[in-house]
Amino acid sequence: MRRVARATPVPEWVPADLPTSPGVYAFRDASGHPLYVGKSVNLRRRVRGYFYGGGPDNARLAEMLRIACVVTTTPTGSDLEARLEEADRIIQQRPPYNKALKRRGAGYYLELRWSEPFPRLRVVRRPRRTGARYVGPFWGRRTPERVKRLVEKIVKLRSCFEPVRPDSALTPCIQHDLGLCTAPCARRVGLDRYRTQAEAAARLLTDATFSWDLQDRVTQRRDAASAKLDFEGAAVQQARLDWLEELEQYRFVLEDEGGDRSWLIALPGAVDGTRVLQPVARGQVLGRRVISWDSGWPDAVEDACYAIRVAELRVPTVLSPVQSVPSLMVKRWLEEGSPDGVSIDLTRFDTEETIRHLDRSFN
């Protein structure tokens, strides 16, 4: 009996020998331009999966597949390298059918314009002013807006949009009546005292220790008011304590625990006998390098460590949204326990110790 070959929905232009390793794939048009870039821990399964089950439910991806006539793959030795390579390509090539990552070139920041006499917090799209302090980036607007409101209430910072021209004849707004603003507009607070409030706002956003100390002081005031049977005063302090505790729930996005550290990450290469060195200088991800682990690798590690030390001298205080994309990926990988790789904290180890550590890990 003649056996009939089973039909497959995978088109002929998809290679039959796709690798099963981690890596990056790109669907391209007839001119070779990338339409869509993605990554997977199994390239063969991911690419072929686009064509089964009637194709993608997403209309955008379905349209992309109707245009595509070529798919290329780049194997990697680890999932982290695939993530970073995917991010690099999307940001640099901007494929028309990718939505993720492209919009991260314009994130959100909390801005405190220290050059203003009576600063207020703003949520802005990118850092621009030299006389301002910034916290961010945030990938959405909701979180910085909530953090802004909490800090305003905790330190009684003004939230009005109008420029402040102090006039004692003015009547303060309801924010002052509610105890949420010191009303610099009506001269209820002087310039020096208000700027002390603004400095406290900046420290709340960047210094967890300051926030904890403030919680202790507010707790003491609440308890003292309660002991005097001043229950209204105790309630005011309790509300402030509640806002401080809620602010701490956002501490993980306000402070990057690994952001001020430098790392040398060693990952397995896609080819046997190779490794990928990923330098990170104070949170900023630098260029990767594939090296042979059979010979000469200590020199390559020494060069990578030197490049990190040089880069540390010029790393910006606030990373741009584009710079923060790979930085966030590396941070998450570190939090996951550095799977399939070795991470060395260069704020704790020098170059010689790093080489010895890698030697023990891979040899």
pLDDT at 248: 86
State the average pLDDT over residues 236-257: 81
Structure tokens at 241: 């304590």
Q: What angle do CA 357, 359, 361 make, to 5 degrees?
A: 70
Confidence of residue 253 (pLDDT cuts 50, 70, 90): low
Other Cβ atoms within 10 Å of 66 Cβ, number: 9
pLDDT at 255: 61
pLDDT at 348: 87
pLDDT at 189: 86
Domain boundaries, the chain: 23-100, 108-251, 263-362
pLDDT at 139: 67
Is the confidence at residue 102, as pLDDT, over 80?
A: no
pLDDT at 197: 92
Structure tokens at 337: 């326990």
Q: 23-100 sits in which CATH class?
A: alpha beta
Q: Of all helices (H) and strands (E), which one includes residue 221?
A: helix 208-227
Other Cβ atoms within 10 Å of 223 Cβ, number: 12
pLDDT at 101: 62
pLDDT at 55: 79
pLDDT at 62: 92
- Helix axis angle, 208-227 to 191-206, nearest 10°: 120
Amino acid at 221: R
Q: What angle do CA 316, 321, 327 make, to 5 degrees?
A: 75
State the average pLDDT over residues 300-313: 94
pLDDT at 76: 96
State the average pLDDT over residues 172-195: 88
Cα gap 203→201, rounded to integer Å: 5
Per-residue pLDDT tens over the stretch 260-304: 689 999 999 999 999 999 999 988 899 999 999 888 899 999 999
Per-residue pLDDT tens over the stretch 28-70: 999 999 999 999 999 999 999 999 887 788 889 999 999 999 9
| Phi and psi torsions of 182, nearest 5° | -85, 0
pLDDT at 301: 96
State the average pLDDT over residues 187-202: 90
Is the confidence at residue 14, as pLDDT, over 90?
A: yes
pLDDT at 31: 93
* Selected residue with higher pLDDT from 38 and 139: 38
Cα gap 140→123, rounded to integer Å: 11
Give the DSSP per-residue string, 4-31.
Answer: PPPP-SS-TTS-TT---SSEEEEEE-TT
State the average pLDDT over residues 203-212: 88
Rounded to two decimals, the pTM is 0.64
